Amino acid sequence: MSLLELIAAADERALVASGIACLDRCLPQPAEGADPDPLRPLWAGCANGDEWTDRLAEARAALDGVPPRADGAVPAIRKLLGEAPAERTDPELRTWADACSLLALEVHLGQDATPGAGDELLRRCREDGPAGAGPLVAGEVRRQIRILEMLAETSGASRAGAGLRQVLDVSTEGQRVLRAATSRRARGRGPA
């Protein structure tokens, strides 16, 4: 299945978890002394849908403490957190998760040195797979597909948190990859 098909077929838990994972990967390296994981409360909201609204408020407050950087996605993450449905059953949840997916791909595209790439490439990657994309975008498409497939496999599991630890591990590894690429690119530009 394509990335768009997986999003269209995902249940509410998968939509929430995949959206959070996408936003999590876009967070810049935290400044010294800053909260290293401002979106952590949202992961608890994935496991327990009754806590979603409270956890969403906690994450919004925590992200308010993260200073935006010129090369960072913090303002876009803030905007998407502000648009996140307060109820996990809201039909807009799918639209929100899709927007989170697209933001993650746009952030990866911004760090990928793919000449002439843009919206058309991202549309094609989401519909047909990552062939022809740069390594960061291709990796992110595969990561999003893997996460949605893992969540689909644990859909309806007796434990609400089933599979979330694995999703968090995959997302954390993706975050490391993007931060390393961002750091290499910044070193290549040299001092401003």
Q: 63-87, pLDDT tens digit by residue?
A: 887 776 655 788 999 999 999 999 8
> Distances in Å between the alpha carbon of 110 and those of 24, 59, 73, 124, 154?
16, 25, 10, 17, 33
Task: Look at residue 192 and tell me whether its pLDDT is greater than 50.
Answer: no
Per-residue pLDDT, averaged over 19-23, amounts to 96
Selected residue with higher pLDDT from 50 and 140: 140
If you average pLDDT over residues 98-103, what whole number do you get?
97
Q: Please tell me the least confidently modeled range out of 34-48, 85-99, 141-155.
A: 34-48
| DSSP structural state of residue 49 | G
Q: Residue 118 class from Cβ within 10 Å (0-12 exposed, 13-18 middle, 19+ buried)?
A: exposed
pLDDT in tens, 101-112: 999 999 999 888
**Mean pLDDT in residue range 126-142:** 94
**Is 11 a residue whose pLDDT tops 50?**
yes
Is the model's pLDDT at 160 over the cut of 60? no
Q: Give the pTM.
A: 0.90
